[in-house]
Amino acid sequence: MAVTDNTLEQRTANATGMAVGSFTVTDRVDDGMTTRYLVKGKSGQTFNCYVTGTVSFLGRQVSDAQCNSLGRNERGTADNALLREYNKKAR
């Protein structure tokens, strides 16, 4: 397994701005080179995240975490960075 728990926590902390230890990682699924997981912060934040990782003769190589906040905006619709960007371009 290319992605260790420690590396996953470090990459997630950088991506979400939360400190290591202030969130829990659940629902982890290792699928080939991709690791997908859910992050729950102690303050109630929730993120869907993923990293990619490989092991080669150079050692472990793990990408930065990509995380999207799960939540609702003031209108009650789904709100995340990818959806906001799509909506900007669709106008």
Q: Is the pTM of this model over 0.85?
A: no
- Counting beta carbons within 10 angstroms of the beta carbon of residue 36, is it exposed (0 to 12), middle (13 to 18) or buried (19 or more)? middle
pLDDT tens-digit readout, 30-86: 988 999 999 999 988 899 999 998 888 888 899 999 998 886 554 555 556 666 666
Query: Measured between alpha carbons, how far is 31 from 35 in angstroms, rounded to an integer?
Result: 6
Which of 1-5, 17-21, 78-82 shows the lowest mean pLDDT across its residues? 78-82
- Cα angle at 9 between 54 and 14, to 5 degrees? 95
Higher confidence at residue 20 or residue 55? 20
Ranges of each domain in the chain:
5-90
The average pLDDT across 6-23 equals: 94
Using the predicted structure, report yes or no on whether residue 26 has a pLDDT greater than 90: yes
Using the predicted structure, report yes or no on whether residue 28 has a pLDDT greater than 90: yes
- Counting beta carbons within 10 angstroms of the beta carbon of residue 38, is it exposed (0 to 12), middle (13 to 18) or buried (19 or more)? middle
